[in-house]
C-alpha cells in the first residue's frame, strides 16, 4: 500500500496527496466498505461551465450568484469509471455524464434537488444525479444549494465555499446512509476535493480514506477533517486518542 500523506492521530482518517489512478491499485480493497465520490465529470470538455444568472439576482444583494469557472483537474476529458467499478459498493455523482460507461441495467439512480421549493432561476442544472452500484429503489434528497441563494438559506460556513464544485456535508451524509455504512465502517473518496465526504464521515462516526491530486485542495481537506475530528472528540471525550480507557486497552494488549 502507498503510505498515506497524512493519518489522523486516532487513525480514523487517512489522506493521500497524489493521483488516485496510482494510489487506488495499491489499496487493500478489503479495507474499503464503500466508495463515495464526486469526480471530475468531464463536462468542461462537452459544454463548458458558463451559465446565465436569472430572476433572483436582485434579491440576493451582494451574495455571489455566479458559479465558479475555475477549472477542475480531470474535467477536460471524459471520465472513465473502470477503476472505480472494481470496488463492490460504489456511489458516484455526475454519472449521467458518463452513463454509457457504467454497467447497463445495474444499480440505481439517486437525485439531489438543489432548489427545494424554488422555481428554476438560472441556466445551471437544478438537479444532480448519482449512480449507486447496489440497491434497488431510486431516491431523492432536497437540499438548497445554488449560488448566492444557497449561501443565504442553508450554506455551510456562511456560504463560503472551499472548492468550485463543493458538495454540501448534508448531501454527503445522506450518501453514506444510501450505501449502507454503519458506525465504524470505512468510506473511500478518491477525488476528495475539499474533503466534504471526509467531514461527513467523521461527523457520523465512520472512517475515511481520501485522495486528492491538487495540493491546495488537499490542504483544505486535511484542515476541515482535523477540525471535524476535534469537534467530535470534544463532543465524545472517550474517543480521544489519549482517553484513559484507550491507554488501559493498549497497556493490557486488548484490541
Minimum distance of ligand SAM from residue 184's CB (angstroms): 23
Closest by CA position to 43, among listed 14, 76, 10: 76
Instruction: Name every residue whose Cβ is closer than 8 Å to that of residue 27 and which is 6 or more positions away in sequence.
Output: 1, 2, 188, 209
Minimum distance of ligand SAM from residue 15's CB (angstroms): 11
Paired with 40 in beta bridges are none
Using the rule CB under 6 A, which residue among 35, 102, 213, 229 binds ligand SAM? Answer: 213
Query: What is the Rg, in whole angstroms, of the alpha carbon atoms belonging to the chain?
Result: 19
Q: Which runs of consecutive H residues, i.e. helices, occur in 33-178?
A: 44-47, 147-153, 169-178
Using the rule CB under 6 A, which residue among 175, 217, 229, 233 binds ligand SAM? Answer: 217
Does 128 contact ligand SAM by CB under 6 A? no
- Nearer residue to ligand SAM within complex by CB, 18 or 205: 18
Instruction: Name every residue whose Cβ is closer than 8 Å to that of residue 60 and which is 6 or more positions away in sequence.
Output: 147, 148, 149, 151, 152
Does 219 contact ligand SAM by CB under 6 A? no
Interactions with ligand SAM, residue window 55-94 (CB under 6 A): 72-74
Minimum distance of ligand SAM from residue 61's CB (angstroms): 25
Extract the C-alpha cell encoding 238.
472517550
Q: Which region among 25-33, 61-69, 124-132, 206-214 touches ligand SAM (by CB under 6 A)?
A: 206-214
Asked if 67 contacts 125 with a C-beta cutoff of 8 angstroms, the reply is no
Using the rule CB under 6 A, which residue among 39, 84, 141, 175 binds ligand SAM? Answer: 39
Site string for ligand SAM, 177-196 (x = CB under 6 A): -------------xx-xx-x
Closest by CA position to 217, among listed 145, 173, 148, 164: 164
Does 21 contact ligand SAM by CB under 6 A? yes
Does 163 contact ligand SAM by CB under 6 A? yes
| Exposure class string for 77-86: b at 16+ Cβ within 10 A, else e | eebebeebbe
Interface residues toward ligand SAM, by CB under 6 A: 19-21, 38-40, 72-74, 163, 165-167, 190-191, 193-194, 196, 211-214, 217
Amino acid at each position: 500500500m502507498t503510505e498515506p500523506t497524512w493519518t489522523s492521530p486516532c487513525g480514523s482518517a487517512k489522506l493521500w496527496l497524489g493521483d488516485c489512478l496510482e494510489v487506488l491499485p495499491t489499496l487493500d480493497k478489503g479495507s474499503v466498505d464503500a466508495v463515495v465520490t464526486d469526480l471530475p465529470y468531464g463536462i468542461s470538455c462537452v459544454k463548458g461551465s458558463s451559465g446565465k444568472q436569472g430572476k433572483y439576482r436582485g434579491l440576493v444583494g451582494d451574495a455571489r450568484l455566479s458559479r465558479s469557472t475555475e477549472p477542475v483537474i480531470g474535467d477536460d476529458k471524459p471520465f472513465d469509471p473502470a477503476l472505480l467499478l472494481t470496488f463492490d459498493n460504489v456511489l458516484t455523482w455526475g454519472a449521467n455524464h458518463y452513463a454509457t460507461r457504467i454497467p447497463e441495467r445495474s444499480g440505481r439512480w439517486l437525485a439531489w434537488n438543489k432548489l427545494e421549493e424554488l422555481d428554476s432561476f438560472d441556466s445551471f442544472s437544478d438537479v444532480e444525479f448519482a449512480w449507486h452500484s447496489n440497491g434497488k429503489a431510486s431516491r431523492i434528497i432536497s437540499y438548497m444549494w445554488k449560488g448566492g441563494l444557497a449561501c443565504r438559506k442553508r450554506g455551510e460556513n456562511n456560504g463560503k465555499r472551499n472548492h468550485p464544485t463543493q458538495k454540501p456535508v448534508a448531501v454527503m451524509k445522506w450518501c453514506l446512509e444510501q450505501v449502507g455504512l454503519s458506525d465504524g465502517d470505512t468510506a473511500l473518496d478518491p477525488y476528495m476535493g475539499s474533503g466534504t465526504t471526509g467531514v461527513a464521515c467523521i461527523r457520523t462516526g465512520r472512517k475515511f480514506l481520501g485522495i486528492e491530486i491538487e495540493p491546495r485542495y488537499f490542504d483544505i481537506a486535511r484542515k476541515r477533517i482535523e477540525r471535524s475530528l476535534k469537534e467530535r472528540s470534544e463532543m465524545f471525550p472517550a474517543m480521544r486518542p489519549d482517553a484513559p480507557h484507550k491507554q488501559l486497552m493498549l497497556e493490557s494488549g486488548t484490541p
